[in-house]
Amino acid sequence: MDFLRKLLFLPEQASTIAKEIDWLHYSVILITFAGVFLITGVSAVFCILYRSRRPRRPDERRPPGPTPPLWAEIGLIAGLFALFVAWWGVGFWQYVRLTEPPSDTYDVYVSAKQWMWKFAYPSGSHTINTLYVPEQRPVKLLMTSRDVIHSFFVPEFRLKFDVVPGRYHSVWFTATKPGAYKILCAEYCGTDHSRMRGEVVALTASDFDRFLEQDGGGGPGDPESMSANASEPSLSLRGQTAAAKYGCLRCHSVDGSPHIGPTFLGLFNARVPLEHGGEIVADAAYLTESMMDPQLKLHRGYGPVMPSYLGYLQPGEVSALVEMIKSLRHPPASAPLQLPANRTFPIPDAPPLRPNAQESSP
């Protein structure tokens, strides 16, 4: 099958999903090529066999040719339709798999802007244009954009996903071998779109641990791309700062006690009953959506009082808030959250809300 891959000029397969996606690609290409050759061949044979012969007399009519039975025509059309639907079904199934990560992923927050990629790791370190991931371990990317729509594309992983301002999309992959793989932006996003490139560096487990220990200081790759330093607080700690800055804790408690809004304790990945019926899992996507458009999927039993934070929260702050809520899971995560349980958290008097220029013009 490697022959087919080379024949089609596909890059190497460096993620677990790449093989499956290529299989669909091969079958679509091979079947359509077989169809084209069959039709061309049959047409050529028929052109010779049934070519027009000059009538002997001007009024001579040629006898009508045989017509295929109706069932054959219906069968052919139905067969082609079924084939198309089968391809679509397999493709859709692959898409759903890409967007439904396993539970034990390593999460990285991705924020795109004109014209760079920023990656924030739960440990607090962050890198620009170079994404470090462990090999053989599922990695989930939570992606958003600060300005316009970009598209995160890693050809070797067969991974391409739009990155949209104001929304978080999650997608996951498992890198199968260590190495460096190109990241391209696959959505035209302005002057330097073609230069909005980056690199995924898949490290062995021990190298990745070393990268985290060094907190981004001088891992393999371009040292220019590393901007973290050892004194950087973890993401969930930065989430606490953001929660204080935006007054989140005036309505949301962190100790499980009911307040104006739902408590953050145990909220992450919990099933939330919705005001208009049904329920939803409070994952990163839902939490983010609720910061941007709180009334859209309102938690049952709570009033529609929360304002939208779209245009106020920086993407980095959103991911930090999500990490903070994640750290308040039941039972408490291994690293205890350093939040006072009695809500004596510093609370600002006035809402600090002032739209920042970058965010308000998506």
Which residues of the chain form contacts with ligand CUA (CB under 6 A)? Answer: 115, 150, 185, 187-189, 193, 196
Give just the sign of the alpha carbon dihedral 97, 99, 104, 109. Answer: positive
Residues in contact with 24: Cβ distance below 8 Å, sequence separation at least 6, in sequence order = 87, 90, 91, 94
Listed in sequence order, the residues at least 6 apart from 13 whose beta carbon sits closer than 8 Å to its beta carbon are 5, 19, 22, 156, 158, 176
CA 124 to centroid of chain Cα atoms? 21
- Give one word for 321, left, alpha or beta, with left for phi > 0 and alpha for psi -120 to 50: alpha
The distance of closest approach from Cβ of residue 127 to ligand CUA in the complex, given in angstroms and rounded to an integer, is 17
Phi and psi, residue 95, nearest 5°? -60, -45
Asked if residue 117 has a cis previous peptide bond (ω within 30° of 0), the answer is no
Burial of 121 (0-12, 13-18, 19+ CB in 10 A): buried
Least CB distance to ligand CUA at residue 187 (A): 5
Query: In whole angstroms, how far apart are CA 14 and each of 26, 96, 158?
Result: 17, 20, 8
Judged by beta carbon, residue 99 or residue 194, the one nearer ligand CUA is 194
CB 315 within 8 A of CB 144: yes
CB atoms near residue 341 (< 10 Å): 13
**Distance (Å) of CA 312 to CA 115, 242, 355, 356:** 21, 11, 5, 6
Q: From residue 249, give the alpha-carbon distance in Å to each of 242, 260, 271, 321, 352.
A: 10, 10, 21, 11, 13
Tokens of 70: 């109706």
Nearest CA among 288, 314, 309, 316 for reference residue 118: 316
Which of helix, strand or coil describes residue 97?
Answer: helix
